[in-house]
């Protein structure tokens, strides 16, 4: 809804731009025909240009996968009770619609009035013109090919001047300009500039008709007297080109003015820089996209990670879609039950059960009367195609598990030859298939107060430069103390309890029993937090002391 008002504001601004250019630079020039097209171009530009948006894509590094937490109580999101508020957007839209309706009715009445004048009258055809000599006391006017006048009100000489003037209007289709300007006044009735713009269009059309008619008449002064005589008429048909217009003095001045010099035509191009500035400021939309990273196995570890988000606003159709994708893409069984929603249709309670082949079923249940916090199902795939499934939340995990994997990151947005071997850190907690033939370390965590259980498995293959730490609270932490780029090992920055450790510090010197948590930062996240010191990665260790 807000986009409609943004569009209206942009359109109004462009109308004001063209009107100011005409009023201050062009209205005193005698380039009447050029002014006509300039003014029409301004109207068309004001409705088309705001719709043209150039999208500029800015590539950013992907957001790290957040830590996992299986505490059911943390999935509850507090929602504030909303009091009644007036939606001013709908109020303004209602006012706009009422105004538009009023002007549409007025246009209909004007059209009906015109039709009543033309209907049933005797028409005299001459070339492309249709003349109607009426008995009504109205000023002469033209409407497309129709030219209407009351011959009893004028002398033959005056009538000749009038008809030549109206022929110009009819021959050059000035009625189209009048109708276009009238349509814009109805659509943008709230904008005072558009009414001035319409007046400028109609006045310029009169300048054109006066100039062309005077060329065909022998007595130019008599034509000017005819203009003065017609000013006595007070009523006219609004949607026609009528001979009488206000500012007769202005028309006479322009009729006698010398032709403007061609070098003054530069004034038409003044709007181009202004339009360019408008596009640069308002019509370029910057879109941030995450670099698509394809994780390729180097040392027999994680190949890809997929996260299926479950939001508080997820519908039954959304949940069914997640179920279909998990089954189709990963052969993972996903079932949701005990679904409850509040008055705002937000999820407040649900039970999620996940089963990956022969793995034990993992479940999480949330109960409450407040909206849940967003969480998701995370699926990791190794190079052998083995799927590992878990549940991901957006909260900070009470138990942080950092698995450092050496992978090759291939940026899909860069050329194929731009590949860098580095250390990829995945912050995750997963359910995995335990194989007695592999070297694994497992730990099962459960909470008696919640319906939640999970198994954490970490590859402890000592062939990789990875250190595995099992803390006293049962957390299993695997970290890598180096980053490898183009075959060169770069030592990561180590921070212990907020203090920077000297170069060459070995994490193995810390007793595993004293470690409370470990965080690993790579790339832009490390540099953002620690500056150039973190360019090779940062390992934060928090101890219990």
Q: Give the span between the Cα atoms of 214 and 530, in whole angstroms.
A: 80
Tens digits of residue pLDDT in 47-90 = 999 999 988 887 776 555 444 444 444 444 544 555 678 888 88
Residues 518/541, Cβ–Cβ less than 8 Å: yes
- The mean pLDDT of 20-29, rounded to a whole number, is 95
Among the listed ranges 154-158, 187-191, 382-386, 500-504, which one has the minimum average pLDDT value? 382-386
Using alpha carbons only, give the angle 10, 16, 21 rounded to the nearest 5 degrees.
130
Assess contact for 476 and 468: CB atoms under 8 A: yes
Residue with the two structure tokens 């519908």: 315
pLDDT band at 114 (very low <50, low <70, confident <90, very high): very high
Which range among 50-64, 96-110, 292-306, 457-471 shows the weakest confidence by mean pLDDT?
457-471
Tell me what the mean pLDDT of segment 407-431 comes to.
Answer: 34
Confidence band for 409, pLDDT divided at 50, 70 and 90: very low
- Helices then strands, each counted (H, E), the chain: 11, 26
In tens, the pLDDT along 346-362 reads 888 888 888 877 665 56
Residue range 27-50, pLDDT digits in tens? 999 999 999 999 999 999 999 999
- Provide the CA 195 distance to its chain's centre, in angstroms: 31
**pLDDT-based confidence at 465, cuts 50/70/90?**
very low
Neighbours of 31 (CB within 10 A): 19
- Tell me the C-alpha distance between 292 and 306, whole Å: 12
- The CA distance from 136 to 31, in Å, is 36
**Residue-wise pLDDT tens digits, 254-279:** 988 899 999 999 999 999 999 999 99
Q: For residue 272, how many other CB atoms are within 10 A of its CB? A: 9
Residues contacting residue 215 through CB under 8 Å, at least 6 positions apart: none
pLDDT, average across residues 453-461 = 32
Confirm if 217 and 227 have CB atoms less than 8 A apart. Answer: no
Residue 195: exposed, middle, or buried by beta-carbon count in 10 A (0-12, 13-18, 19+)?
middle
Q: Which residues pair with 242 in a beta bridge?
A: 141
pLDDT for the residue 241: 67
């Amino acid at each position: 809804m807000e986009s409609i008002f943004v569009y209206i504001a942009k359109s109004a601004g462009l109308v004001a731009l063209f009107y100011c250019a005409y009023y201050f630079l062009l209205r005193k020039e005698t380039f009447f025909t050029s002014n006509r097209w300039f003014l029409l171009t301004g109207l068309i530009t004001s409705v088309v240009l705001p719709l043209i948006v150039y999208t500029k894509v800015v590539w950013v590094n992907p957001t790290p996968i957040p830590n996992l937490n299986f505490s059911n109580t943390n999935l509850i999101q507090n929602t504030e009770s909303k009091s009644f508020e007036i939606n001013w957007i709908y109020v303004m839209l209602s006012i706009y619609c009422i105004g538009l309706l009023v002007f549409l009715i007025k246009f209909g009445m004007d059209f009906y009035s015109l039709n009543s004048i033309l209907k049933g009258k005797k028409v005299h055809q001459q070339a492309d013109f249709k003349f109607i000599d009426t008995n009504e006391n109205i000023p002469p006017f033209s409407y497309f090919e129709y030219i209407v006048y009351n011959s009893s009100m004028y002398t033959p000489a005056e009538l000749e001047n009038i008809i030549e003037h109206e022929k110009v209007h009819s021959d050059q289709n000035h009625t189209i300009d009048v109708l276009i300007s009238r349509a814009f006044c109805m659509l943008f009735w709230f904008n005072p500039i558009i009414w001035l713009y319409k007046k400028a269009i109609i006045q310029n059309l009169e300048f054109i008709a006066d100039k062309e008619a005077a060329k065909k008449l022998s007595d130019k002064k008599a034509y000017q007297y005819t203009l003065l005589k017609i000013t006595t008429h007070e009523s006219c048909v609004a949607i026609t080109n009528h001979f009488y217009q206000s500012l007769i003095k202005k028309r006479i001045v322009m009729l006698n003015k010398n032709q403007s010099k061609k070098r003054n035509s530069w004034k038409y191009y003044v709007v181009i820089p202004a339009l360019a500035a408008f596009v640069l400021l308002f019509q370029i939309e910057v879109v941030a996209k995450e670099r698509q990273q394809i994780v390729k196995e180097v040392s027999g570890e994680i190949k890809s990670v997929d996260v299926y988000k479950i939001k508080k606003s997820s519908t039954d159709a959304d949940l069914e879609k997640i179920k279909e994708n998990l089954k189709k893409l990963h052969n993972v069984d996903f079932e949701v039950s005990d679904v409850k929603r509040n008055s705002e249709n937000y999820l407040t309670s649900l039970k999620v059960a996940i089963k990956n082949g022969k793995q034990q079923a993992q479940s999480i249940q949330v109960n409450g009367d407040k909206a849940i916090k967003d969480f998701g199902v995370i699926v990791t795939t190794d190079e052998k195609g083995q799927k590992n499934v878990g549940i991901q939340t957006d909260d900070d995990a009470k138990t942080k598990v950092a698995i450092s994997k050496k992978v090759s990151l291939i940026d899909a947005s860069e050329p194929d030859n731009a590949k860098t071997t580095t250390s990829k850190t995945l912050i995750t907690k997963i359910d995995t298939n335990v194989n007695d033939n592999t070297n694994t370390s497992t730990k099962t965590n459960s909470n008696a107060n919640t319906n939640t259980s999970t198994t954490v498995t970490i590859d402890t293959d000592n062939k990789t430069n990875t250190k595995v730490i099992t803390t006293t609270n049962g957390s299993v932490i695997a970290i890598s103390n180096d980053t490898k780029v183009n075959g060169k090992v770069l030592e990561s920055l180590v921070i212990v309890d907020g203090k920077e450790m000297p170069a060459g510090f070995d994490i193995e010197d810390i007793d595993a029993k004293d470690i409370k948590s470990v965080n690993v930062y790579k790339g832009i996240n490390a540099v953002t937090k620690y500056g150039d010191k973190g360019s090779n990665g940062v390992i934060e260790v928090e101890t219990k002391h």
